[in-house]
């Protein structure tokens, strides 16, 4: 299974929607950098992410979440990871696809 | 062993490389850089596949003419990929439909696959590089 990283805000970049079209059930989605805006409640793509969470594991890089001051609105069930956890994920999944 | 891998055509390890192209050709450098890396991988006799999705499909659009914009038209290079045994070129059906394009609009023969089919293809690779 693949770990997909998303590093651009899904509100302005379609990488997440294309990723979700192609990603298999059971794969992982990790939001990093500006991608973390995709892991928040109350946005126009929240519902898309919540739907994806039913079949895929969703993570967000906590240092990037905190840097942007949005730690109070992360979608419930999104697993926050630190840098060390990021490394662990890259070993737990078979491969990483870094969407740009 | 390491020497073999570093030498083009040296008969080292062959891996399945997938290049995912999602950017239009001239606005950013991604498309040209991808093409260069693909050619390098092919020179090392790796098993190369390419996916074109989203605006990446426009990299293959026929009729590109950069003479008036003073940029290099690199679209003919896609036709040379065949000589490097890079023949597995896939375009995403959903992206083609969204842009009103058909394989006849493209400079090279491609195989149209759905997003789900491309997802299977991704799982079946050793290395995935995104551009």
pLDDT digits (tens, 9 = 90+) for B101-115: 999 999 999 999 999
Indicate the domain borders of chain B. 14-130
Report yes or no: B18 and B123 within 8 Å, Cβ to Cβ: no
pLDDT at B41 over 90: no
What average pLDDT score do residues A46-75 get? 97
pLDDT of residue B42: 86
Interchain pair A2, B54: CB under 8 A: no
Closest CA to A61 of A31, A95, A92, A19: A31
**Is B125 an interface residue toward A (CB < 8 Å)?**
yes
Q: Let me know: does A5 contact A71? Beta carbons within 8 Å.
A: no
pLDDT value at B19 more than 90: yes
Q: In B, which residues are within 8 Å of A21 by CB distance?
A: 92, 94, 115-116, 119
- pLDDT of B1: 45
The H-assigned helical ranges of A23-98 are 46-52, 62-67, 83-92
Domains and CATH numbers, chain A: 2-99 (3.40.1260.10)
Q: How far is CA A64 from the centre of its chain?
A: 12
| CA angle, residues B49, B77, A17, in degrees to nearest 5 | 45
pLDDT at position B5 over 60:
no
Which of these ranges, A73-77, B39-43, B113-117, has the smallest mean pLDDT? B39-43
pLDDT at B7: 61
Mean pLDDT of all residues belonging to chain B: 93
Provide the sign of the torsion angle of the four alpha carbons B33, B79, B88, B44, taken in this order: negative
- Domain B14-130 is found in CATH 3.40.1260.10: yes
Which residue in A14, A15, A24 is closest to B119 by CB distance?
Answer: A24
In chain B, how many H helices and how many E strands? 5, 5
**For residue B23, pLDDT beyond 60:** yes
pTM of this prediction? Answer: 0.91
A27-40 average pLDDT score: 97
């Amino acid at each position: 299974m693949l770990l997909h990283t998303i590093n651009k805000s899904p509100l302005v970049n379609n990488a997440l929607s294309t990723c979700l079209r192609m990603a298999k059930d059971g794969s992982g989605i990790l939001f990093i950098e500006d991608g973390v805006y995709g892991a928040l409640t109350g946005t126009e793509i929240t519902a898309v992410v919540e739907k994806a969470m039913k079949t895929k594991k969703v993570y967000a890089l906590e240092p990037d979440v905190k840097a942007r001051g949005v730690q109070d609105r992360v979608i419930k069930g999104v697993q926050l990871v630190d840098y060390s956890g990021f490394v662990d994920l890259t070993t737990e999944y078979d491969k990483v696809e870094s969407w740009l | 062993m390491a020497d073999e891998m570093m030498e083009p055509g040296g008969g080292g390890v062959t891996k399945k490389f997938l290049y995912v192209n999602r950017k239009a050709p001239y606005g950013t450098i991604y498309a040209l850089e991808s093409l260069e890396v693909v050619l390098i991988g092919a020179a090392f006799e790796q098993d190369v596949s390419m996916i074109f999705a989203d605006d990446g499909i426009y990299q293959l659009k026929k009729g590109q003419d950069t003479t008036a914009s003073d940029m290099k038209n690199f679209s003919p290079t896609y036709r040379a990929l065949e000589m490097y045994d890079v023949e597995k070129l896939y375009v995403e059906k959903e992206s083609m439909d969204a842009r009103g394009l058909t394989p006849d609009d493209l400079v090279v023969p491609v195989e149209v696959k759905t997003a789900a089919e491309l997802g299977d293809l991704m799982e079946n690779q050793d290395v995935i590089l995104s551009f």
